[in-house]
């Protein structure tokens, strides 16, 4: 925050993380040769490595910095964010994981096209992947700017530029195969960077005769304030996070890297464990911050709590060392999540835009992927530079709501309901997407945030998800002659274990 802070630990940490990321990416390059390596690491990633990679990719700036700051400012109801982000993987496990892997598709649009045999659904899905991906990339770049400004005193444009360049270097050189090693490394880096300082800080707190916060002003109530409206907000958040996870493009793309459906399930189970361990830690920072740094509990400053608390509680070189560690973890969070999102968006762009015939010319698989990656990273990076104050936490929440009200119904019905039609899918995607976009526009336009209208528009998932789901079902039932002829065989493919030899279409 203040420019007088000692910048050395932050600079060293950011440099080391950047070098390690590039180094591991280059090392992973030796294994990357084919287009299949680039997109899905040739589908040979074992569950434990893959789970670490998923964890590394999933734990973004919002998890590493945001949760602690939100808990400090608003209290226990903010714990629903990490709970929802973890429970989302349980929902994904029981409804989607194995069938999605068995579908044998590269990306979400591939799945939609294979299931419904429609170019229209594919186009709609491609558009949504890019939209959700950019909505999620934006706060990563902005968070990087905030972090560098807070720890090193650098100008806010430097963070997005560094993250953008490192991500591009890694993604374009090695694709999915090399990024898998990078992501796995970054999960363990993030866990260490949060765990070790937390232990030290808890020891300091205990030797300080364990002071407690005074008074109870609703800080320990795990429910948004405001009676019925608070109840609605909390449940809308639960719906968005529990159901949105399965629709995030960078999460979905990871499932195609598993060898088979059984491995996809086991990977998800390990992810549940890894996320559960990680999310024990941010609330510790939030609670300690309430005791030692209550002055940080205001919008704009709270996100820096994790970065500043070690220096506030521990003096001297030890405090500087811990600050360096959490800075490294925060930077790893930006790099890994941005890389995953860039891969997902680049995969879709390279299949549907850059890999197309443009006049006479057509780029090959890897070249198209690289060009797609450049577009995928540059656009949100430029937006982050142009509009640095769009609201970090809000953009992530909106990305989840959007994913929950579009891809979640499509995946659920596509996997479990034979009678889904292309017309139904498009109608449902439109209903959910337009409903969500309207709510986003309303929220950004209105300055007040009271009354039911603002509450409903500010937290749209609780009504957009049922709207999209029921539209998809109703329109599909109205167009029974459009049920694709191969729907039965495709469901066989999705649900039959690999050991059974059947015709998978």
Partner 1 sequence: MTTGPSSERVRVTGPSRRRTPVTRTADIDDQTRLGGVYMGSLLREQLRLAIGILLVLALTVGVLPLLFHLAPELAEVHVLGLPLGWLLLGVAVYPTLLLLGWVYVRRAERNERDFAELVSEADR
Q: Does 483 bind partner 1 (CB under 8 A)?
A: no
- Which of positions 87-116 make contact with partner 1 (CB under 8 A)? 87, 89-91, 93-95, 98
Helix (H, G, I), strand (E, B) or coil at 503: coil
Shortest Cβ 270–partner 1 spacing (Å): 9
Distance of alpha carbon 33 from alpha carbon 484, whole angstroms? 36
Sole binder of partner 1 in the list 203, 280, 382, 444 (CB under 8 A): 280
Residue 19 or residue 280: which is nearer to partner 1 going by CB?
280
**126-134, 187-195, 275-283, 313-321 -> range binding partner 1 (CB under 8 A):** 275-283
x-marked contacts with partner 1 along 283-322 as a string, rule CB under 8 A: x---x-----------------------------------
Shortest Cβ 285–partner 1 spacing (Å): 12
- Which of positions 404-433 make contact with partner 1 (CB under 8 A)? 416
| Token representation of residue 218 | 């609703």
Judge whether 373 and 343 are in contact, CB under 8 Å.
yes
Place of tokens 């309901």: 417
Residue 43 or residue 265: which is nearer to partner 1 going by CB?
265
Residue 243 or residue 423: which is nearer to partner 1 going by CB?
243
| 247 secondary structure, DSSP code | G
**115-123, 217-225, 327-335, 450-458 -> range binding partner 1 (CB under 8 A):** 217-225
Q: Does 80 bind partner 1 (CB under 8 A)?
A: yes
**307-315, 462-470, 471-479, 491-499 -> range binding partner 1 (CB under 8 A):** 491-499
DSSP letters, 34-62, are SHHHHHHGGG---HHHHHHHHHHHH--HI
Distance of alpha carbon 287 from alpha carbon 289, whole angstroms? 5
Q: Does 473 bind partner 1 (CB under 8 A)?
A: no
Which residues lie below 8 Å from residue 130, measured CB to CB, with a gap of 6+? 345, 348, 349, 376
Distance of alpha carbon 301 from alpha carbon 3, whole angstroms? 14
CA distances to 112, 202, 422, 480 from 117, rounded to whole Å, are: 8, 56, 8, 15
CA distances to 67, 127, 141, 147, 376 from 382, rounded to whole Å, are: 26, 19, 10, 18, 11
For β-strands 361-362 and 357-358, DSSP reports them as antiparallel
Q: Does 238 bind partner 1 (CB under 8 A)?
A: yes
DSSP letters, 315-384, are -HHHHHHHHHHHHHHHHHHHHHHHHHHHHHHHHHHIIIIITSEETTEE--HHHHHHHHHHHHHHHHHHHH
Shortest Cβ 362–partner 1 spacing (Å): 37
Q: Does 268 bind partner 1 (CB under 8 A)?
A: yes
Sole binder of partner 1 in the list 223, 374, 383, 434 (CB under 8 A): 223
DSSP letters, 58-119, are H--HIIIIIHHHHHHHH-GGGGHHHHHHHHHHHHHHHHTHHHHHHTT-SSHHHHHHHHH--H
Q: Does 502 bind partner 1 (CB under 8 A)?
A: yes
Distance of alpha carbon 179 from alpha carbon 77, whole angstroms? 35
Q: Does 368 bind partner 1 (CB under 8 A)?
A: no
How many Cβ atoms are within 10 Å of 423's Cβ, its own excluded?
18
x-marked contacts with partner 1 along 20-59 as a string, rule CB under 8 A: ----------------------------------------
- Which of positions 144-183 make contact with partner 1 (CB under 8 A)? none
**13-21, 133-141, 156-164, 487-495 -> range binding partner 1 (CB under 8 A):** 487-495
Shortest Cβ 71–partner 1 spacing (Å): 9
Helix (H, G, I), strand (E, B) or coil at 497: coil
Q: Does 441 bind partner 1 (CB under 8 A)?
A: no
**30-38, 265-273, 355-363, 457-465 -> range binding partner 1 (CB under 8 A):** 265-273
| Token representation of residue 58 | 């999933």
Q: Does 279 bind partner 1 (CB under 8 A)?
A: yes
Shortest Cβ 265–partner 1 spacing (Å): 5
Residue 93 or residue 176: which is nearer to partner 1 going by CB?
93
- Which of positions 197-216 make contact with partner 1 (CB under 8 A)? 216
- Provide the binding-site residues for partner 1, judged by CB under 8 A: 76, 79-80, 83, 86-87, 89-91, 93-95, 98, 216, 218, 220-223, 227, 230-231, 234-235, 238, 262, 265-266, 268-269, 272-273, 275-277, 279-280, 283, 287, 416, 488-489, 491-492, 495-497, 499-503
């Amino acid at each position: 925050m203040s420019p007088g802070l000692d910048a050395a630990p932050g600079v060293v940490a950011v440099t080391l993380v950047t070098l390690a990321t590039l180094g591991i990416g280059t090392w992973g390059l030796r294994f990357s040769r084919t287009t299949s390596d680039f997109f899905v690491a040739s589908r040979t990633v074992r569950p434990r490595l893959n789970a670490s990679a998923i964890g590394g990719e999933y734990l973004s700036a919002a998890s590493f910095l945001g949760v602690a700051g939100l808990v400090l400012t608003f209290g226990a109801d903010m714990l629903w964010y990490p709970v929802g982000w973890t429970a989302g993987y349980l929902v994904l496990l029981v409804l989607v994981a194995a069938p999605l892997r068995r579908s044998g598709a590269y990306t979400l649009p591939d799945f939609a096209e294979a299931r419904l045999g429609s170019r229209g659904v594919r186009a709609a899905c491609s558009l949504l992947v890019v939209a959700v991906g950019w909505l999620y990339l934006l706060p990563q770049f902005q968070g990087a700017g905030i972090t560098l400004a807070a720890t090193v005193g650098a100008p806010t444009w430097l963070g997005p530029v560094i993250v953008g360049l490192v991500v591009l270097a890694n993604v374009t050189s090695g694709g999915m195969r090399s990024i898998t090693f990078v992501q796995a490394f970054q999960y363990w880096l993030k866990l260490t960077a949060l765990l070790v300082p937390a232990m030290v800080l808890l020891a300091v707190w205990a030797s300080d005769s364990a002071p407690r916060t005074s008074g109870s002003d609703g800080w320990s109530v795990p429910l948004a304030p405001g009676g019925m409206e608070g109840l609605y907000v909390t449940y809308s958040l639960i719906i968005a996070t529990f159901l949105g996870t399965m629709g995030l493009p960078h999460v979905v793309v990871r499932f195609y890297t598993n060898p088979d459906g059984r491995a996809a399930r086991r990977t998800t189970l390990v992810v549940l464990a890894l996320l559960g361990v990680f999310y024990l830690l941010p609330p510790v920072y939030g609670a300690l911050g309430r005791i030692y740094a209550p002055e940080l509990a205001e919008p704009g400053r709270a996100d820096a709590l994790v970065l500043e608390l070690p220096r506030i509680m521990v003096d001297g070189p030890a405090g500087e060392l811990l600050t360096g560690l959490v800075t490294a973890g925060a930077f790893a969070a930006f790099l890994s999540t941005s890389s995953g999102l860039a891969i997902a968006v680049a995969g879709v762009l390279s299949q549907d835009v850059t890999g197309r015939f443009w006049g006479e010319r057509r780029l090959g698989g890897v070249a198209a992927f690289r060009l797609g990656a450049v577009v995928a990273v540059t656009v949100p990076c430029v937006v982050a530079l142009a509009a640095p104050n769009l609201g970090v936490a809000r953009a992530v929440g909106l990305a989840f709501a959007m994913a929950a009200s579009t891809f979640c119904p499509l995946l659920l019905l596509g996997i479990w309901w034979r009678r889904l039609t292309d017309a139904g899918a498009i109608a449902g995607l439109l209903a959910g997407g337009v409903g969500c976009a309207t709510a986003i526009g309303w929220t950004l336009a209105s300055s007040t945030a009271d009354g039911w209208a603002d509450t409903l528009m500010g937290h749209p998932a609780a009504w957009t998800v049922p709207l999209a789901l029921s539209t998809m079902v109703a329109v599909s039932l109205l167009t029974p002659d459009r049920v694709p002829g191969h729907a039965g065989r495709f469901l066989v493919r999705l649900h039959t274990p690999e050991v059974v030899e059947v015709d998978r279409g």
